[in-house]
Amino acid sequence: MEMDTIVAISTPMGEGAIAVVRLSGSDAISIAGLLFKSVSGKQLEDVASHTIHYGHLIDPKSGQVVEEVMMTVMKGPKTFTKEDVVEVNCHGGMVSVHRVLQLVLNHGARLAEPGEFTKRAFLNGRIDLSQAEAVMDLIRAKTDRAMNVALGQMEGRLSRLIRKLRQEILETLAHVEVNIDYPEYDDVEEMTHKMLLEKASYVRDEIQKLLETSQQGKILREGLATVIVGRPNVGKSSLLNSLVHENKAIVTDIPGTTRDVIEEYVNVKGVPLKLLDTAGIRETEDIVERIGVEKSRQVLKEADLILLVLNSAEKLTIEDENLFKATKGMDVIVIVNKTDLPQQIEMDKVRELAGDQRIVTTSLREDRGVEELEKAIASLFFSGSIETGDSTYVSNSRHIALLNQAHRAIEEAIDAVRSGVPIDIAQIDLTRSWELLGEIIGDSVHESLIDQLFSQFCLGK
């Protein structure tokens, strides 16, 4: 199916050395050729694929020079979209790039929708759906580890494994069909039951291995929701600034300075943290501060990790003890701050309240203890296992949900066979598992879902 020609700005908005305007479609080269005058005198339709040419964009109506450009020509199918692609490299100013875009739009191209270039790559068979989603993960990666996971998925590591599992299920289903067609052969039925159990158990175990990586993968993709809590003026905002290495939060000796939840992303030993500095949790008559305290209690419930900050220079209070109770059962690191001041806090009591929770002592004013805290955060969630480069990590929430459903379906098929349920009934659950795995790579997925997924991409990708 031939598609129309689309165009979009593929580089970030703002001033820069260069900007790229990308065209893709059957008329990409002819539209660009109508507007481009090469210094060498060559016509774009006649140049070799994957070559770049210097010249000027000319408005055909006025004959006016619009921009000085480098024009890259890439002929399908050896392109990202498998269509003809032209990239116009122009000066990076806002005015220049928009003049180029408008000129192309005026001569036959259509403005691309968000993610439409990658969507065409998927629809044209260049990549599957999981690889397409990895493109966005790669763009949004906040650490090297997250980028490596996205690269592995974009190169097809997850796709290959999913296809292998689907093939195992398909072969099993074929044997089930033989049993249904020739029920008079008892040995065929027995062999089919045995094979179904073996194959289904293998697929179930492989799915389970993928799901075991999902917590780490999801954290790498989306960031670890980390909430900094504590009484007012114990050093929460100082901790945020120390981890971010910037003065993002206002730090004063006045309790209640932070009135809202401050959000910031930070890379801690390769772990992306979505840091939330909350208003100090205490009883207060100040209406604005009270709203902030309520927000703090709300984000506490949604956190993956709690950094509970205490003041070493003060005795433990009822409010401190209440925070220990509120965070019981969560992943918590207790931070005893202000160790540069004379100690007043009862450390035996802190250890009793903390139980198995880790305790780190810091003096944020003197920048002591931050390195130890960062190591504690990294080891708490990854314990070094994320370093292995040959594992397939599942990081996408959609993939995780589908894998869980496929795992349940194949478990039901195994239980059915063991319970003596007719083989054709077990076949239904096995087929369902095959379909769910297919949704991950886009082999069996609704058009509305495809549109929704690609609408989340940035314009020009």
DSSP string, 111-126: EPPTTHHHHHHHHTTS
| Strongest mean pLDDT among 5-19, 62-76, 186-200 | 62-76
Q: 223 or 74: which carries more pLDDT confidence? A: 74
CB 307 within 8 A of CB 239: yes
pLDDT: which is higher, 408 or 422:
408
Report the CATH superfamily, name and number, of domain 131-213+394-444. tRNA modification GTPase MnmE domain 2 (1.20.120.430)
Q: Give the residue, 88 or 228, on which the prediction is more confident.
A: 88
Of 47-51, 176-180, 279-283, 373-377, which one has max mean pLDDT?
47-51
Q: pLDDT at position 110, please?
A: 94
> 74-88, 210-224, 321-335 — which one is most confidently predicted on average?
74-88
Q: Which CATH superfamily is domain 222-386 in?
A: P-loop containing nucleotide triphosphate hydrolases (3.40.50.300)
Quick one: average pLDDT of 103-132? Answer: 90
Span(s) in the chain for CATH 3.40.50.300: 222-386
What's the confidence (pLDDT) of residue 25? 94
Top CATH class of 6-112 equals alpha beta
pLDDT tier for residue 385 given thresholds of 50, 70 and 90: very low
Adjacency order of strands within the sheet including 224-230: 262-268, 271-277, 224-230, 305-311, 332-337, 358-361
Cβ atoms of 360 and 257 within 8 Å: the answer is no
The pLDDT of residue 183 is: 54
State how far the alpha carbon of 291 is from the alpha carbons of 253, 281, 284, 297, in Å.
21, 11, 10, 10
Token pair in block for residue 29:
């080269």
| pLDDT in the model for residue 258 | 38
Is pLDDT of 382 > 70?
A: no
216, 211, 256, 261: which is closest to 240 by C-alpha? 261
For helices 423-441 and 186-212, give the axis angle rounded to 10 degrees. 30
The pLDDT, as a whole number, for residue 405 is: 95
| pLDDT value at residue 153 | 77
Cis bond before residue 77 (omega within 30° of 0): yes
Res 43: pLDDT: 92
Average pLDDT over residues 16-36: 93
Cα angle for residues 215, 274, 372 (degrees, 5° grid): 85
Query: What's the whole-number mean pLDDT along residues 290-305?
Result: 62
- The reported pLDDT for the residue numbered 288 is 38
Can you give the pLDDT at residue 286? Answer: 43
pTM recorded for the entire structure: 0.66
- Locate CATH 1.20.120.430 in the chain: 131-213+394-444
Residue 80: per-residue pLDDT: 93
Q: Give the type of residue at 432.
A: R
- Segments of the chain assigned to CATH 3.30.1360.120: 6-112
pLDDT at 255: 39
pLDDT at site 263: 65
Could you list the beta-strand ranges (E) of 115-249: 224-230
In the prediction, which pLDDT does 261 show?
46
Tell me how far apart the alpha carbons of residues 420 and 390 are, in angstroms, rounded to a whole number.
39
Q: For residue 251, what pLDDT is reported?
A: 35
CA distance linking residue 317 with residue 333, whole number of Å: 18
Average pLDDT over residues 288-305: 59
Which tens digits make up the pLDDT trace of 315-334?
999 988 888 888 888 889 99
Average pLDDT in the chain: 80
Q: Report d(CA 399, CA 445) in Å as an integer.
A: 12
Q: Is the pLDDT of residue 26 over 90?
A: yes
Higher pLDDT, 328 or 1: 328
